[in-house]
Amino acid sequence: MGLIIFVWLYNTIFIPKVILFPHYEEGHISLVAILCYYFCSLFCIASLLRASVADPGKLLENPKIPITEREYWELCNKCNMMRPKRSHHCSRCGHCVRRMDHHCPWINNCVGEDNHWLFLQLCFYTQILSLYTLILDFCHYYYFLPLKKENWDVFVFRHELALLRISAFMGLIILGGISGLFYTQLMGIFTDTTSIEKMSNCCEDISRPRKPWQQTFSEVFGTHWKILWFIPFRQRQPLRVPYHFANHV
């Protein structure tokens, strides 16, 4: 998580200082480009912090289970607690998590039912910010007009090439890694399976009906309003779905 914050701080500080602000002052780009960059940066760090501190869906001790719903619960053989089906016991955190997808070291937290939507937003905005940074690095050398170097900061003037090479290298690494992770997460939602279920081959594809992708995404994000799927500054409310389509109780 510290590495991700370092990369975010590096790009948020140096990219505007080296590329955006100098080209804006000389009229090469508009203010909209700067605002879009900070907009992506804000949403990226917001989703990261919220995903790392949010409750992933930790089960309470001695839950009250209605008689009509007991068939959707099972006993955990590690902590001896009743839990909804499709829950998993995290060995690192030491408790069961509803619809747990995996334990992510990049956010130092489990990815479960209650914070999966924030993890998806983190992957999405990290890709957007990395791609935006790479485009700016490219345009700075091959598209924008040359800058008047005498107006630059001395440190930036001397180390401009090194700063942009570091930025481009980190952007390529993060974009490649996050793109693969984001793709597997999207496929998991489309097929209504978690990463743990894929590895353990317990998806129960035959016994569990396949849901429309709009339904699975709405359950993950807690709303049917698609515009809200992209906003990290809100509270998720679980959707009530029929039991034969239920991911949790």
User: Reduced to 3 states, what is the DSSP secondary structure of residue 35?
Assistant: helix
- Taking alpha carbons only, the member of 172, 145, 149, 177 closest to residue 161 is 149
Strands of 82-197 (E only): list them. Answer: 82-84, 88-90, 95-97, 102-104, 109-111
Residue written as token pair 């800058």: 147
245 burial type by CB count under 10 A (0-12 exposed, 13-18 middle, 19+ buried): middle
Whole-number Å distance between alpha carbons of 35 and 226: 23
- Catalytic residue from among 96, 104, 110, 123: 104
Own/partner pairs for 192-197, CB < 8 Å, 24+ apart? 192/216, 192/247, 194/86, 194/88, 194/99, 194/100, 194/101, 194/102, 195/101, 195/102, 196/88, 196/100, 196/101, 196/102, 197/86
How many Cβ atoms are within 10 Å of 80's Cβ, its own excluded?
A: 7
Residue type, 171: G
Contact (Cβ atoms closer than 8 angstroms) between residue 54 and residue 113: no
Q: Is 93 a catalytic residue?
A: no
One-letter amino acid of 156:
V
Q: What is the DSSP pairing of strand 95-97 with strand 88-90?
A: antiparallel
Instruction: List active site positions.
Output: 104
